[in-house]
A and B are shown apart, each in its own frame.
Chain A
């Protein structure tokens, strides 16, 4: 960013002295204008989206106010709507997904970028890209036919027997629930983390590694203490991409989460997520308050993504300033 603005400033006085039409003939100005318009549409779309969600969710704001966020009753017949179970479900499933996907994804990326022979790395990368392109309904089916039965017969007994005294591992398990959704989401987002992280790790300059090795560090020390910190921002970026995908995932989640709007401590309990309830109930939402409450949920999801993204960026800024120069 910094370099771009200095070049532009440098070119400023010279360019300014020529007529507007001369500049247009160059093509530079045209390119600038057009690409600026393209970039501007991103902002425009975001603003339009928020505006639309805001305007169309006025009714629940008026009727429920802040209570919308803290009540758990979702009753279309009595026209009572509370977003808490959906917010809870969205956050819990995404957290479980990241807890599983981040170590696995980054570990795999380090192996592919630093340790594996280039050919193996390229071949595996091909498979990872394939995984990233699989539609989410396929992952949902994978969840329904493999993860759900496994959850009931293998994972639940294995965790419940030794750890069942903890509320988060309490029973019973129906196979569907927060944990199942989290696992399916983890499988879905791992390819993103691996793919982006590997790319970032590969782009770390060779002299960084050589310098570390020259100072007497082992191969692993150079990877873990020099290369990974250097690529930290990019790796964080891959995690946010994964988080965004996990928060908004609809189809795969609704197939395995159990679709029960309840706040439960146990990870094996069935729950619900924001995206899933919107997809499930939007078509048949007849009442105005009902429809607007669903739209309000959409706004909540947008805000959630926004806040989490903001927090993550803040985290990067803070940790980078504290550390050495390598973060840049």
Chain B
């Protein structure tokens, strides 16, 4: 009985502490791809500013857009920018707009399983052909032409794609839409699409598992996932005609190549970006911040966080294998923070 009383007292005391030290809670939801860096940022930021606590749920970009539009969270996050319809829906509901803030960069890379082949170059035509189901053999001239000296088998290509809706699929299909008119017309871009051919694997691990197990398979995974798990992947020909194997520097290069034409709302696709060293299948990932806040405390906290994220925050992204924002974009974003009211 006595022990019980002590326990009860303890719990009461704990509650009292929690009540006394009640930090400002800011809720967000959205993309899963940047979740590791976001959770690290929010954790470090809370350590530095104990009065502010961010709570982020990685429920997916689609759910993030939906929740921020419905107003159930304070901010959202997405791997593909909101389209005009979605922006209008937000405007109609809230009477003010929503702002996109790029945070880090990601990329999708082609991974394959062909016996005896350790390095491959892919042209945009080859990738589009393979995923459209038109290039069906590994020794097709579309692939062989860019890989002189590589012994490619006459085997059927097995295409593997993501089965779950994902930002990686968005980047991949956004790229294919830019380099192939046929892809744009038949399939187009999105987090889930109607694939002309192929098997679906759930998540990066599902795609990797299928590619590893199925002879003569090709699929695409996130760059970070490929790097961390030592998955071999091919180089892709960029818009200046160079074959580039994705790494953090070539992804950031793609962003700086696109930065010159960066629109004011940051809703830009940087796939097939200009620049000799740019990796063509790269993309920003964005935070979605409402333009007007009722709660000034929350507004100031989010503005503070964004400023920190663009300065100190960027230094910690490469440790987690994310590519950091180019300087031009950081400067532009710093100005855009003032638009939050």
CB neighbours (8 Å) of B194 from chain A are 73-78, 80
Chain A proximity mask over B190-209: 1 for CB below 8 Å, otherwise 0: 11111100111110001001
Least Cβ–Cβ distance between B255 and chain A, in angstroms: 24
Candidates B60, B62, B65, B200; contact of A259 at CB < 8 Å: B200
User: Quick check: is B238 within 8 A (CB to CB) of the other chain?
Assistant: no
Q: Per-residue CB proximity of B123-165 to A under 8 Å, as 1/0?
A: 0000000000000000000000000000000001010000111
- In the bound complex, what is the Cα–Cα distance between A124 and B267 (angstroms)? 61
When distances are taken between beta carbons in the complex, the residues of chain B under 8 Å from A149 are 213
- Whether A17 is near chain B, meaning CB under 8 Å from some CB there, is no
A175 and B214 in contact, given A258-B200, A284-B191 (Cβ under 8 angstroms):
yes
CA distance in complex: A301, B57 (Å): 28
CB of B63 within 8 A of CB of A283, answer yes
Given contact pairs A76-B190, A148-B213, A284 touches B62 in the complex (Cβ within 8 A): yes
* Residue among B166, B188, B206 making CB contact with A77, cutoff 8 Å: B188
A283 near B164 (CB under 8 angstroms)? yes
4-51 of chain B: CB within 8 A of chain A: 32
* B87 lies within 8 A of chain A by Cβ: no
Residues on the B chain within 8 Å of A285, using CB: 62, 165, 192
CB atoms of B164 and A281 under 8 A apart? yes
Interface contact B214-A174, CB-CB below 8 Å? yes
Q: Is A255 an interface residue (CB 8 A)?
A: yes
Contact A283 to B202, CB < 8 A, known contacts A144-B209, A174-B214: no
Q: Of residues B61, B191, B192, B213, which shows the largest number of chain A Cβ atoms within 10 Å of its Cβ?
A: B192
> Is B339 close to A, CB under 8 A?
no
Asked if B66 and A255 sit within 8 Å, CB to CB, the answer is no
A77 touches B209 (CB 8 A): no
Is B200 a contact of A75 with CB atoms below 8 Å? no
In the complex, whether A260 has a CB less than 8 A from a CB of chain B is: yes
Q: Which of A69-120 contact B (CB under 8 A)?
A: 73-78, 80
A280 beta carbon closer than 8 Å to chain B: yes
State A174–B192 Cα separation when bound (angstroms): 22
Check B166–A260 contact: CB distance below 8 A. Answer: no
Of all chain A residues, the one with the shortest Cβ separation from B66 is A286
| Contact partner, A260, options B189, B190, B200, B209, Cβ 8 Å | B200
Instruction: Say if the beta carbon of A254 comes within 8 Å of chain B.
Output: yes
> Quick check: is A270 within 8 A (CB to CB) of the other chain?
yes
What are the residues of chain B within 8 A of A260 when measuring CB–CB? 195, 198-200
B107 at the interface (CB under 8 A from A): no
Kindly report which residue of chain B lies nearest to residue A176, judged by CB atoms.
B199
Residues of chain B within 8 A of A286, CB atoms compared? 61-62, 65-66, 86, 191
Q: Decide yes or no whether B210 CB sits under 8 A from chain A.
A: yes
In the complex, how many angstroms separate the beta carbon of B144 from the nearest chain A beta carbon? 23
A272 to B62: give the CA distance in the assembly, Å: 22
Residues A77 and B189 in contact in the complex (CB < 8 Å), given A280-B164, A283-B59, A285-B165 = yes
| C-alpha spacing A283/B188, complex, angstroms | 20
Q: B156 — which chain A residues lie within 8 A by C-beta?
A: 172
Some 28 contacts from A to B, beta carbons below 8 A apart, are A73-B194, A74-B194, A76-B165, A76-B191, A76-B192, A77-B189, A77-B193, A78-B188, A80-B194, A148-B213, A175-B214, A176-B210, A258-B199, A259-B199, A270-B200, A279-B164, A280-B163, A280-B165, A280-B202, A281-B164, A281-B165, A283-B32, A283-B59, A283-B63, A284-B63, A284-B164, A284-B191, A285-B192
7 shortest interchain CB distances as A-B pairs: A284-B165, A259-B200, A283-B60, A259-B163, A75-B194, A284-B62, A286-B62
Given contacts A152-B214, A259-B199, A259-B202, 6 further A-B contacts (CB under 8 A): A76-B193, A144-B209, A260-B200, A283-B32, A284-B61, A284-B165
